[in-house]
Chains A and B, each alone.
Chain A
Amino acid sequence: MLQEEEDLSLTIAHIVQKLKGSRLYSQLERQAWVSLQKPEIKLESLKEDIKEFFKISGWEKKLQNAVYSELTVFPLPRHPAAPPEHLKEPLVYMRKAQGSWEKRILKSLNSMCTELSIPLARKRPVVEQKELLNKWNEMGTDEPDLSLFRPVYAPKDFLEVLINLRNPNYENGDHLNLKTHLGLIQVPLKVKYISELKEFFIELSLNTGQLGIDDATQVPPELFENEHVRLGQKVLAEQDSAAAQQYIRQGSPTALRAELWALILNVSNQPEDLLYYEQLKSNVIQHDLLVDSLIYKDVKLTASNDDYYFVFEDYLYQVLLCFSRDTSVLGHFAYNSASPPKSYIRGVIPFHGFSMYVAPLCFLYHEPSKLYQIFREMYVRFFFRLHSISSHPSGIVSLCLLFETLLQTHLPQLFYHLREIGAQPLRISFKWMVRAFSGYLATDQLLLLWDRILGYNSLEILAVLAAAVFAFRAVNLMEVTSLAAAEAVLADLSTLKVMPLLQIFLFATIT
């Protein structure tokens, strides 16, 4: 009992400490001062009256949302003896692997720099600054010479690193033993069994209504859709983050999605946020970074070639160029196993396909500063886990292992067949999971999937969907005889409907 109370007090102290530096704290203070002039506030019961005022005016709700957001995002300090690296990543060998991977990336970037003799950062001359400011909303028309640039790394390079990840204390012998991993990932992380997944994703079960299934044209809207939309409007009126997160597990109506996501991520459009974005924009205009060229190259290679996203090319530049200069992103490195490079490039180094994280958000938000904030929140909560080595249950290593375990357990014949023909399933599904399926699914299906990521605060659904796709195309896959043929069978996912696949795989497969 004593231990739990101590833990609770520590948690409270930690969150208070975090919130003290935030804008919300100064706003609450200001509101408290303003309220002193109201006649309802009496000196004898000052504390109670102010608390009552906060409750009525909706400020308590905002505080609740901020606390909920802190609890969700930041892991709480666990043990006084644990060093900060332990909070980033408890397993030492994974920390080492992440460190050497980062060194490799930086070396590659440096060598590209010296080869092309381009400075990492330079101040733009005034003429160029004016030009860029004029062209800010149509940077896509710019055609700089990017032929010499190449992406720093692609997902398949990262996959090779993960395949070679080994625990030095683990029996990695050549002979098969009871726990030999037949897949590519050889580290024994904890992943959920299908029974645990069924419990975790209980709101996706067969007898609960889902958007993505129960809003199809054949189903009369009175059965589920109308009520769900009404409930969504009520949740938005209440402005409650926790309720919104629970609601969105069954999917979000298209009209309400933008506001619901903003509520869950606790992003509000304050004048200070607009100012911050403008500041980042002026940073972009004044200085030219090497990372900018990498971003240009990535957008041109990926998003501009995509049928759905090429219209948003300009937005992508506006968001990503600012993102590479945002120092507040550095805060997430406290719980990310990665570390920012100790040298000049302070921030995230984009890889091939990075811009696809932003592209689907452009369908929801049209205002660049709001789009930027939403993307930043999504990145520091979820997407960073998809390209750093860690033992977190939502980290890419755990997702790969979960995918392989699910496939091996529930489709053993398919798994064995693919392994025999040299087409390890992870080699095909890795690129889907690293990009959170962006660019592979149709946009409306992708947004339904990302609804669930936000609702469950976990990326495990990506691994489950990957396994469900393999299960769906199992018959065709059993007939292929090479990796190329297997890739061809799974090349086009744009016709798939995500929610029925997930439901069938989790709840309707005979195990």
Chain B
Amino acid sequence: MLIGQLAVRLQGLLGGVVFPAWDSRTTEDFYAAAASAMSRVQVPCHIKGAVALQVGDVRTVQGRPGVLVIDVTFPTAGPFELQEITFKNYYTAFLSIRVRQVGSPNQSSNKWITCLRDYCLMPNPHNEEGAQDYVSLYKHQMLCDMDKVLELRLILRQPSPLWLNFTLEELQFFQHGPQSPSSAFTKWLSHPAPYEQPALLLQQALPDPDKVSSEVQQMWMLTEMIRANRTTARIGRFDVSCPAASALSSLALIWP
């Protein structure tokens, strides 16, 4: 499947008509574009220091605590819809998250609900695997809806006694941003084009594909000629006759 989709993409590139921006797009641009297409906005938060949970007196009991709790509040932002949490792991083996949301009007107090239970960050707590990885957690991985988040409580567990410290670093929380007009871009991201699309669009009132492709071929020849006779003089704006321009734009629709 991967190969098939790749062939589709490459042949789209060969056409050179669609997505001219691919020439200069780097991986970072792609991520930024994806991010903006997914439109997430960072929510400013206040992260309280980690509190170790230990049985007995902290000063006299030997051995390291295996459970840490980090409280996160959002004093400036009101109740928001949580989209994504990103962080850098530092030797935490399991993560649980509890959330306190704005409850329904007939409830007197807001209750804490567990939205993520024992998410495994390190497959083997004694080994280094996954110990310093960057992780993203999304809304759809949570056990409950995250519509009106007030506070979060992150419960970190590291059962292995071999590590001196463990924590999560670079915690960031994101919510949905304003919907960007490039939602078509998002759709392309998540749903690689099926072959039925061209037939569907043709049924709407669009110019005849044969005519369009012959016009495009002429345009192609022209650009090849120009490329062959490349001069340093500026060409200036290319005044294109209307049918060809609309043909170009409709071709962009037909070839996904």
Whether the Cβ atoms of A67 and B135 lie closer than 8 Å is no
Binary flags per residue of A44-59, CB closer than 8 Å to B gives 1, else 0? 1011001100100000
14 A–B contacts, CB within 8 A, in A order:
A10-B34, A43-B210, A43-B213, A51-B11, A60-B7, A79-B86, A80-B31, A81-B88, A81-B134, A82-B134, A167-B128, A168-B164, A189-B129, A190-B128
Confirm or deny: B170 has a beta carbon within 8 angstroms of a beta carbon on chain A. yes
Interface assignment of A255: CB less than 8 Å from any CB of chain B: no
Determine whether the beta carbon of B132 is less than 8 Å from that of A92: yes
Known contacts A43-B213, A43-B214, A188-B127; A169/B91 CB under 8 A: yes
Interface residues of B in 114-132 (CB under 8 A from A): 123-124, 126-129, 131-132
Q: Main secondary structure on chain B at its contact with chain A?
A: mixed
Binding site for B on A (CB under 8 A): 2-3, 5-6, 8-17, 19-20, 25, 28-29, 32, 43-44, 46-47, 50-51, 54, 60, 63-64, 67, 77-82, 86, 90-92, 167-171, 177, 179, 187-190, 391
**Complex alpha-carbon distance, A347 and B208, angstroms:** 57
- Given contact pairs A6-B189, A51-B11, A67-B2, A190 touches B124 in the complex (Cβ within 8 A): yes
Q: Are B164 and A169 in contact, CB atoms less than 8 angstroms apart? A: yes
Q: Per a CB cutoff under 8 Å, which of B25, B88, B128, B217 touches A189?
A: B128
Q: How many Å lie between the Cα of A10 and that of B188 in the bound state?
A: 11
Contact check, A81 vs B163: say whether CB atoms are below 8 A apart.
no
Is B46 on the interface with A (CB-CB < 8 A)?
Answer: no
A63 pairs with B163, CB closer than 8 A:
no
15 A-B pairs besides A13-B27, A81-B88, A188-B128 with CB distance below 8 A are A6-B34, A8-B192, A11-B2, A16-B9, A32-B11, A51-B11, A63-B6, A67-B6, A78-B133, A90-B132, A169-B166, A170-B164, A171-B164, A187-B128, A190-B123
The residues of B that contact A169 with a CB separation of less than 8 Å are 90-91, 163-166
Question: Is there contact, CB below 8 Å, between A188 and B134?
Answer: no
- Tell which of A25, A47, A168 touches B255, judged by Cβ atoms closer than 8 Å: A47
User: Which residue in chain B gives the minimum CB-CB distance to A83?
Assistant: B134
B228 at the interface (CB under 8 A from A): no
Contact across chains for B7 and A63 when beta carbons are under 8 A apart:
yes
Q: How many pairs of residues, A versus B, come closer than 8 Å at their CB atoms?
A: 135
Shortest distance between the CB of A439 and any CB in chain B (Å): 32
From A9, A63, A80, A86, B190 is in contact (CB under 8 Å) with: A9
Q: List chain B positions with a Cβ less than 8 A from chain A.
A: 2-3, 5-7, 9-11, 13-14, 22-23, 25-27, 30-31, 34-35, 86, 88, 90-91, 123-124, 126-129, 131-136, 138, 140, 161-166, 170, 172, 189-192, 209-210, 213-214, 217, 255
| Residues on B with beta carbons closer than 8 Å to the beta carbon of A86 | 132, 134
**Least CB distance, B207 to chain A, in whole angstroms:** 14
Q: Are A91 and B128 in contact (CB under 8 A)?
A: yes
The answer to whether A15 touches B134 (Cβ under 8 A) is no
Chain B residues with Cβ below 8 Å from A29 are: 14
In the bound complex, do residue A20 and residue B13 qualify as a contact, i.e. CB atoms below 8 Å apart?
yes
Closest beta carbon of chain B to A245's beta carbon, Å: 16
Output the least CB separation between B8 and chain A (Å): 8
Task: Tell me the nearest residue of chain B to A93, going by C-beta.
Answer: B132
Closest CB of chain B to A391's CB: distance in Å? 6
Contacts of A54 in B (CB 8 A): 7
Chain A residue numbers with a CB within 8 Å of B135 are 79
CA of A46 to CA of B133 in the docked complex: distance in angstroms?
A: 46
Residues of A within 8 A of B2 (CB): 8, 11-12, 67
| Identity of the chain B residue whose Cβ is nearest the Cβ of A55 in the assembled complex | B7
Partner of B138, one of A3, A32, A90: A3
The answer for the CA separation of A187 and B136 in the assembled complex, in Å, is 27
When distances are taken between beta carbons in the complex, the residues of chain B under 8 Å from A63 are 3, 6-7, 10
Please give, as numbers and ranges, the residues of chain A lying within 8 Å of B172 by CB-CB distance.
81
For the complex, give the distance between the alpha carbons of A15 and B25 in Å: 13
- What chain A residues lie within 8 Å of B91 (beta carbons)? 169
Query: Bound state CA distance, A6 and B165, in angstroms?
Result: 34
Contact B164 A51 (CB under 8 A): no
- Contact (A171, B161) CB under 8 Å given A12-B5, A67-B6, A82-B134: yes
Q: Which residues of A contact B190 (CB under 8 A)?
A: 2, 5-6, 9
Cα distance A11–B6 in the bound complex, in angstroms: 10
The interface residues of chain A lying within 8 Å CB-to-CB of B133 are 78-79, 90
Instruction: List residues of chain B with CB within 8 A of the CB of A78.
Output: 133-134
Please give the distance in Å from B195's CB to the nearest CB on chain A: 9
Contact yes or no, A80 B35, CB < 8 A: yes
